[in-house]
Amino acid sequence: MVFMGIACQQTEKSTTAVTQTATQPAANPLPHDNPALPQGTHVDIQVPAELVCMVNDVYMGRKQFPVPVGDKIYYGCCENCVDKLKNSDQYRYSIDPLTKEKVDKVEAYIVVKSMETGAVLYFKSKENYEKYLSKS
């Protein structure tokens, strides 16, 4: 996959354990092949959290592995990402690009910024996202 980070590619064999214990993500096309999403470099479209690898901060175009942490569910693309989400809050939070506030990725308004890279941005709210757009 073009969107996975190096760490994910190195754990390819170990994803079997995640597959056996978690619901297998659906085999939907990758984001750049998804006809339901606008094409082009900058998309600026909200996407559901379960379609994002929250470690790599990338829209994956298919449901990711759910990672329960406390009363919240985060999402990762492989066993390495699952472990990181479970064991380190640095992967569970991001910074709102508008306000520079810390935002929980599960509670964020998530937007695909680029279909070329799959990069996502996390906003505290839809209003913050709209303000951010008006300033860009």
Q: Is residue 13 in some structural domain? A: no
Task: Look up the domain containing 52 and give its range.
Answer: 28-135
Q: 58-87, pLDDT tens digit by residue?
A: 999 899 999 999 999 999 999 999 999 999
> Residue 57: pLDDT band by 50, 70, 90 thresholds?
very high
Share of the chain above pLDDT 90, in %: 58
Give the mean model confidence (pLDDT) for residues 106-133: 93
Q: Is residue 35 part of a domain?
A: yes
Weakest mean pLDDT among 6-10, 18-22, 23-27: 18-22
Residue 10 lies in a domain: no
Interval 98-122 mean pLDDT = 94
Domain count, the chain: 1
In a domain? residue 61: yes
User: In this structure, is residue 20 part of a structural domain?
Assistant: no
Question: Does residue 23 lie in a domain region?
Answer: no
Cα four-point dihedral sign 30, 36, 39, 44: negative
What is the pTM for the complete model shown? 0.72
In a domain? residue 123: yes
Token pair of 135, please? 């300033």
DSSP bridge partners of 110: 122
